[in-house]
Amino acid sequence: MTKKKKILFTAGTHAGLILFISFLLFPLFWLTVTSLKSTTEIYSGSANMFPHIISWSHYASVVREEHILQSMWNSLIVGIISTIGSVALALPASYALVRYKSPANNAVLGWILSSQIFPAVLLVIPLYVILRNLHMTDSLFGLSLVYIVWSLPFVLWMLHGYMKGVPVELEEAAMMDGATTTQVLFRVLFPILLPAIGASAVFSFVSSWNEFFFALVLLKRPDYITLPVELAQYTGMEGQARTGPLAAASVIATIPSLLVFIVMRRWFASGLIAGAVKE
């Protein structure tokens, strides 16, 4: 390939990436712009890219009059509990499935795949009955248990696939050097698995943060509702949404997810470096 073709290929690649990123970011951009428009401008019918006058009234009304901050706190609690629970259960299970061969392994993997086929509507009634018998139908901890059960198969599948890529020779070499089983797990395997653990944690947290159906059915107290249920209340009975407050609340709801991705991106990098050093 000549130098001119390389330049054209590089320029085309960069242009394609810029277009793709713009396509992904445009909904967030339009949502933010809409939240900064006044109510009169929103319903005027003009499709202006930028607001004529920046208005913070929608954000003020959302924070002052609604329960957006309380619902965000509830979603944060549920997300943290479900993330820690699903990763804590899936990590040793994936290690056992990879390192200890058994006829039951195929059955477990088959259960993981088959569990993703059934929709949530088939599970909500059995889960509701179980939680009602445990007196957890209207509690954040009960909802967290449901999210752990819901996200555990996929998290286990993710960690299982990554665990298979870690050679067993690393553990054997560490044990030959005198390392104990605990030292092998925490000083050899854990740094290598850190990127996979981070990716699984992000999936579990975002899944619980965005989940709507289980939260709608299992939570009834207004001070316990999660963020997706709170956002649904910005739409009236006849389907007419309060566009300005809904856009402002959606922007506020997006901030924690963005922060999680920013923090986890740094965690991915540190995990990869630590794993390379341990090797």
pLDDT in tens, 38-60: 877 777 766 677 777 888 888 88
Per-residue pLDDT tens for 95-133? 888 887 777 777 777 777 777 777 777 788 888 888 888
pLDDT at 271 over 50: no
Q: Is the pLDDT of residue 165 over 60?
A: yes
Task: Give yes or no for residue 78 having a pLDDT over 90.
Answer: yes
Question: With 90 as the cut, is the pLDDT of residue 84 above it?
Answer: yes
Find out whether 260 and 76 touch, Cβ atoms under 8 Å: no
Residue 109 has what pLDDT?
A: 75
Assess if residue 153 is contained within a domain.
yes
**What residues contact residue 159 under an 8 Å CB cut-off, 6+ apart?**
90, 91, 94, 193, 196, 197, 200
Q: What is the pLDDT of residue 237?
A: 59
CATH of the domain at 207: 1.10.3720.10
Quick one: pLDDT band at residue 247, thresholds 50, 70, 90?
Answer: confident
Q: Which range is least confidently modeled, 23-32, 141-150, 203-212, 231-240?
A: 231-240
* 151 within a domain of the structure (yes/no): yes
Task: Supply the pLDDT for residue 268.
Answer: 54
Q: Flag whether 161 is in a domain.
A: yes
| Number of domains within the chain | 1
Whether 100 maps to a domain, the answer reads yes
87 within domain boundaries: yes
Kindly report the average pLDDT of the chain as a whole number.
80
Report the predicted TM-score, pTM, of the whole model to 2 decimal places.
0.78
In this prediction, what percent of the chain has a pLDDT beyond 90?
8
Check whether 89 has a pLDDT greater than 80: yes
Environment class of residue 187 by beta-carbon count within 10 Å: exposed (0-12), middle (13-18) or buried (19+)? Answer: middle
Alpha helix ranges (H) inside 100-189: 104-115, 120-133, 140-164, 168-176, 181-183
Q: Is residue 124 part of a domain?
A: yes
Q: How many helices (H) and strands (E) does the chain have?
A: 13, 0
pLDDT for residue 279? 40
CA dihedral 254, 257, 263, 267 (to 10 degrees): -150
Q: Quick one: pLDDT at residue 92?
A: 86
**224 falls within a domain:** yes
Q: Could you tell me the residue range of the domain that residue 242 belongs to?
A: 66-278
Q: In the prediction, which pLDDT does 113 show?
A: 73
Quick check: is 42 in a domain?
A: no
* Amino acid identity for residue 181 in this structure: T
Tokens of 234: 């910005």
Per DSSP, what are the bridge partners of residue 235?
Answer: 241
What end-to-end distance do the CA atoms of the chain give, in Å?
37
